[in-house]
Amino acid sequence: MKCSAFAVAVALMAAVSSAYACGPDALGTTRTLAISGEKGQAYGTAQHGPLALAKDEVVITFDDGPRPETTPRVLDALKAQCVKATFFMQGNNLTAYPDLAKQVVADGHSAGLHSYKHDHMNQLSPADQVKDFDATRDIASKVLGKDAAPFYRFPYLGETPDLMNALKVSGYTVFSIDAGANDWEVGETPQTVTDRLMKNLDGKGGIILLHDAQEVTAQAMPLILKTLKDKGYKVVHIEPAR
């Protein structure tokens, strides 16, 4: 009994210590939402129905990485604020930078798929779309093992019926978006990216799209997270139901 009580006390102290490490002003992660892929769900009001979020809740997601020039700084910014996010990774970058992909999940983030090399799926044959998905899933499984989440986002948000069906059969959940920042456009600054994201959120929350492969995004993350905090948003982390 004493050993059990001691173990609980140690666990509680560790949890308090971990929470305090970010300080009282950190944005933090409010809760975790488990996603079941049994019914082949799809979320994001740009193309589908909304995720089960409150008005002031956001899910932070990144596309196109991991990239060694930028992703580590994105991870550092998230860690500094105790924020958990979801990274939709390209297969070619998983192949090129496996250790960085592993670092993403080691930091507690979810890792989904974003095609192998960002082709437009609607420009590929149905068979080639499935081959692309299979190749991306295979390398994710090889690099990340069971930590590879059954989450998928289409390149360019260009969904196709054939691949949607294949994803559903495979138990994958498709994520579109609710608000983006256009951080991929030439000439953007941390301030313009942050301002656009807040305008697009417009107090309603939802799934945020950013790109960890973009230099401006790496620069902007501290400002984005601070502004989310200042405006009263709360972060929800999505992960697969186990």
**Residues tagged active-site:** 63, 211
3-state secondary structure of 175: strand
Tell me how far apart the 2 most distant CA atoms of the chain are, in Å: 65
3-state secondary structure of 95: helix
**CB–CB of 54/206 below 8 Å?**
no
**CB–CB of 58/201 below 8 Å?**
yes
Kindly list the distances between the CA atom of residue 236 and the CA atoms of 59, 100, 121, 143, 239, in Å, as whole numbers in the listed order. 5, 23, 29, 26, 10
Q: What are phi and psi of 80, to 5 degrees?
A: -65, -25
**CB–CB of 98/74 below 8 Å?**
no
173-175 and 42-43: which strand pairing? parallel
Q: What is the DSSP-derived secondary structure letter of residue 21?
A: T
Q: Residue ranges of the alpha helices (H) in the chain?
A: 2-20, 71-80, 91-96, 98-106, 126-144, 161-169, 190-201, 215-230
Cα separation of 55 and 47, whole Å? 19
Number of residues that this document lists for the chain: 242
